[in-house]
Amino acid sequence: MVWWSSPLSRTPLCSAAHQTIKKCCIAIVATTDHTNRSVHQHPASSTPPLTPLLHSAGDRDPRAKPRSDGTSDLAHERPNTRPQGLSQLVPMAATGGADSEVHFDFFPLVRQYKSGRVERFMNFPPIPAGVDPATGVASKDVVIDPANGLWARVFLPPGGHDGSKLPVLVYFHGGAYVIGSASDPMTHNYLNGLVAAANVVAVALEYRLAPEHPLPAAYDDSWEGLKWVASHATAAAADGAEPWLADRGDFSRVFLAGGSAGGTIAHVMAVRAGEQQGALPGFGIRGTIVVHPYFSGAAAIGKEAAGGSAARIAGDRVLVCVAEKDGLRDRGVWYYESLKASGYAGEVELLESVGEDHVFYCMKPRSERAIELQDRILGFLRK
């Protein structure tokens, strides 16, 4: 049995949280068949659909740039898919009673009170979709399911369309399952650079966050998003499909990727895809990139996962990336070793970034080790 919990790594971004690693407040159990249950007071089944909140004209970002094709930028037209309870971005003064009694404290990321009120302390202004002036990469937001508030940001590399199709990269953002977004600066800027260098079409999927929506909500949302991406393998833009995917994506060359919690989501999606192949017709997953995965816990490691569902991961290659100073490094290496011992028939690679910490490449994208990491990922995508 593998425990997945939510410790914080010792990063420049989260250095104040180093001493809270043992105060993990959101934990799930992942069994070998990847059925998940929450172990805090919110039942895993309590994952109601989001209620989209419409933007007003004042919500438009004045920095938004119109796209060259004259269509609207959905970054500023789409419904606000932030889960209910997340609108309180600035901590409020305690009002006494249940609204001041802490249910659990995951500072400096999130704190929840017994009243249900949630405070998030690391709030990154979303970057609007559009054309990135540094890379020429274009992006736009697409609503997948208005009833559930699911959406995605699609990235297209620069250059004209000569009729050839490009590999498809499906990306899951990190944030300990409690913060982060497909539109946050880390995800947006990272994918702009990667899409330009790799010449791929990328899709960053949004998912609901804990504690309002405990696991497996993030996995269920990601799976619905993945099925939406896969639907473009057999759909045409003329039939209402997203044209950047239907016209430009090569669905025989699909890769899953993510960092931190997103790396764990990428693993779970690869397992589900391997177990439910009929759910993704025409969707050829070539490999999975798991960067600084968010596996942790107190249970013994070693060969505990060997022979489980990991052997059924879709695709024939997995790249596992860890950082030497990351508190999650040993679990990442354990994942790599367990996958190799699981009976998985594909190739498993490991890259360790010496001297670096958790998701360092987001804070130091031009550093020597970040360039080394990107080169390894580019090589993996080009095989």
Cβ-contact 171, 202 below 8 angstroms:
yes
Q: Any catalytic annotation for residue 358? A: yes
Q: Report whether 310 contacts 15 (CB < 8 A).
A: no
- Distance of CA 138 to CAs 60, 133, 201, Å? 18, 9, 10
* Strands (DSSP E) found in the chain: 2-4, 28-30, 36-38, 102-106, 110-113, 118-120, 138-145, 150-156, 166-172, 201-205, 249-259, 285-291, 317-323, 347-353
**Cis ω before 49 (30° cut-off from 0):** no
164-173 burial code (b ≥16 CB/10 A, e <16): eebbbbbbbb
Question: CB count, 10 Å around CB of 84?
Answer: 14
**Can you tell me the distance from the alpha carbon of 111 to that of 139, in angstroms, rounded to the nearest whole number?**
32
Task: Point out the catalytic residue in the list 103, 188, 232, 358.
Answer: 358
Catalytic residue among 231, 260, 309, 338: 260
Tokens 């791929």, located at residue: 200
Q: Which of 183, 326, 338, 357 is catalytic?
A: 326
User: What CA–CA distance (Å, rounded) separates 243 from 281?
Assistant: 19
Active site residue 100: no
Measured distance CA(120)–CA(111) in Å, rounded:
7
Residue 61 annotated in active site: no
Q: Which positions are catalytic?
A: 260, 326, 358
